[in-house]
Structure 1
Amino acid sequence: MSVGIGLPISDPAALLEWARRADAGPFRTLGLLDRLVYDNPEPLTALAVLAGATTRVRLQTEVLLAPLRGTALLAKQAATLDRMSGGRFTLGLGVGGREDDHHAAGTPVRERGRRFDQQLAALCSLWSGEPHSQHAGPIGPAPAREGGPEILIGAFQPKALARVARWGDGLLAAAPPSWAGSLFDTVRRDWAIQGRQGEPRLVGQVNVALGPDSLVDEAKAAMGAYYAFSGRAEEMVRGMLTTPGDIRAAIRGYRDLGADEVMLYCYGGDPDQVERLADLC
């Protein structure tokens, strides 16, 4: 099982340092979250910069809120990043449930699921070289991987989980191992029902902060602010893993579930966490 790092959003300029350290190993992936109405870097733009500063590590949106974006342009952006990074890009996608993001984007929040299904079908078609429509031709460049970059879908509910087997390559489960097992089982079942070949890629995500108390306090404050909209900020902060033992246990728990990778998402800004977390892998 591989281990990746989710990047903090507090200082976009510092992400280059994070990326260079992670590229030295042992991490497989760098992940970056997406919001619109928030003080965070736009993930496709940021990951494109990080792709140029690295040679080995993969780049992953975690997750990109697809309904906020125009589908044709998203297809072009994702294919470009995949091509120019040498196939190191994974497109993690989700619908996004924050009304302010959808208001700013001009997209009806109650139609996000229907729009997302339409987008997934269109992305797969465009990356396969099909014309956009009877009025417009194909949209290039061709991605590095035939058929498009790897797609992970972030989901929890059965209807959303079913999208993995229909359109994706795997699941991104932002949940502790105690929750993720049933999600993995559902995706495996749907995969078999759809007659998909091979196995779905199963990726877990836990929130971590490893370092002195000041760093942990900073991370908890940042995470609490990020989830303030949900009414569950305190619950989310309580779930943050802040000791080597707890982080190792989560990694072990995901390995026991048969996960392909676990992402250790950092909210504290100290890049020394890269080396601290590397010692736990």
Structure 2
Amino acid sequence: MNIGLGLPIDDPAQLLTWAGRADTGPFRTLGLLDRLVYDNPEPLVTLATLAGATSRIRVQTEVLLAPLHNTALLAKQTATLDRLSGGRFTLGIGVGGREDDCLAAGIDLHRRGRRLDEQMTLLRRTWSGKPYGEGVGPIGPAPVTPGGPEVLFGGFAPAALERVGRFGDGFLGAALPPSFMANLFRDATTAWRRHDRPGRPRLVAQANVALGPDATLDRARHHLRDYYAFSGHVEYMEAGLLTTPQQIRETTDAYFDIGADEVMLYCWAPDPDQVDRLAELLF
């Protein structure tokens, strides 16, 4: 049973504590989200730090908003992180949707999907050791994982699911109940087969959780509301926060029942004791 933890973003100084506890426990992966115009730690820098402070657990962007990043530099950063972590890095990747992020990065909000498609072609080429482009040689270092780090695409639109078949190793679905996630898993698998990919895509589900005393739950709700304020769906997101042992256990089991290979429990409060509470509850 593969279960990962999504890391809280409001107190970066606590993240080494989270990583240390998770690395000695039963969890498989540590995930970290990406934003530009927000008070969150930069994910690649942070995950590199956490990878260096751990020996077993995987690290994962969840998801990196690739269109905001320079492609050549992103190829180098991700290959470096894959190499330094000994292949423990998963690149969860998506397009995002916040206009302020795109303005700050100097990209067109309405072309971010096309930009991601272009980026994936260049990333795959670079990770394979080929020249980056005309007049530009290879960009090292070579990733330790053949062909580059594992890539999971996040999102809900048909284009995101199509990228799973074209470029990815799997799909990461977030903040949807299992009954809806089952449809996305099916569509991701259909896209995989449409592109004649061998085997099956890796399927990962993410749920928002908080487990602990009232102060932990209140802080989680506060951060969740703040993060999703832009979306117009704050009430829906807050209602979906899992805060009881029964909710967390039943939802996790339901994701595995629909075919999830891993469930990421995204924690919105910085209380590191949640690592131990969730481990005791689920393992």
TM-score over 0.5 for the pair = yes
Which residue number corresponds to residue 68 of structure 1?
68
What amino acid is the match of 2:168? Answer: G
DSSP-derived class of the 1:279 partner: helix
Q: Tell me the CA shift for residue 176 of structure 1.
A: 2.2
Alpha-carbon distance in structure 2 between the residues aligned to 1:193 and 1:231: 35
Which residue number corresponds to residue 231 of structure 1?
232
Deviations 1:53-90 (A, max 9, x none): 10000000000000000101000000000000000000
Which residue number corresponds to residue 133 of structure 1?
133
Which residue number corresponds to residue 96 of structure 2?
96
What amino acid is the match of 2:272? Answer: P
Q: Does structure 1 residue 121 correspond to structure 2 residue 121?
A: yes
Which residue number corresponds to residue 191 of structure 2?
190
Deviations 1:214-244 (A, max 9, x none): 1101100000000001111121011000000
What are the equivalent positions in structure 2 for 1:208-247 lying under 5 Å apart? 208-247=209-248
What amino acid is the match of 2:127? Answer: W
Which residue number corresponds to residue 26 of structure 1?
26
What amino acid is the match of 1:84? Answer: L
8 A contact 1:176–1:205 mirrored in 2: no
DSSP-derived class of the 2:212 partner: coil
What are the equivalent positions in structure 2 for 1:27-176 lying under 5 Å apart? 27-174=27-174, 175-176=176-177
Q: Tell me the CA shift for residue 135 of structure 1.
A: 1.2
Q: Tell me the CA shift for residue 155 of structure 1.
A: 1.6
DSSP-derived class of the 1:63 partner: strand
Alpha-carbon distance in structure 2 between the residues aligned to 1:222 and 1:101: 19
Q: Tell me the CA shift for residue 106 of structure 1.
A: 0.5
8 A contact 1:176–1:204 mirrored in 2: no
What is the alpha-carbon root mean square deviation over aligned residues? 0.7
Alpha-carbon distance in structure 1 between the residues aligned to 2:251 and 2:142: 38
Alpha-carbon distance in structure 1 between the residues aligned to 2:219 and 2:160: 33
Alpha-carbon distance in structure 1 between the residues aligned to 2:102 and 2:193: 34
Which residue number corresponds to residue 276 of structure 1?
277
Number of positions where the alignment pairs a residue of Structure 1 with one of Structure 2: 281
Deviations 1:123-168 (A, max 9, x none): 0011011101121100000001110000000021212211001000
Alpha-carbon distance in structure 1 between the residues aligned to 2:177 and 2:142: 36
Alpha-carbon distance in structure 1 between the residues aligned to 2:203 and 2:17: 28
DSSP-derived class of the 2:281 partner: coil
Alpha-carbon distance in structure 2 between the residues aligned to 1:199 and 1:144: 22
Alpha-carbon distance in structure 1 between the residues aligned to 2:19 and 2:227: 22
Q: Which runs of 5+ in 2 are unaligned?
A: none
Q: Tell me the CA shift for residue 267 of structure 1.
A: 0.4
DSSP-derived class of the 1:4 partner: strand
Alpha-carbon distance in structure 2 between the residues aligned to 1:111 and 1:158: 16
Normalised TM-score (structure 1): 0.99
Alpha-carbon distance in structure 1 between the residues aligned to 2:49 and 2:86: 14
Alpha-carbon distance in structure 1 between the residues aligned to 2:206 and 2:281: 16
Normalised TM-score (structure 2): 0.98
Alpha-carbon distance in structure 2 between the residues aligned to 1:192 and 1:156: 18
Judge which range, 245-254 or 154-163, deviates more: 154-163
What amino acid is the match of 1:100? Answer: D
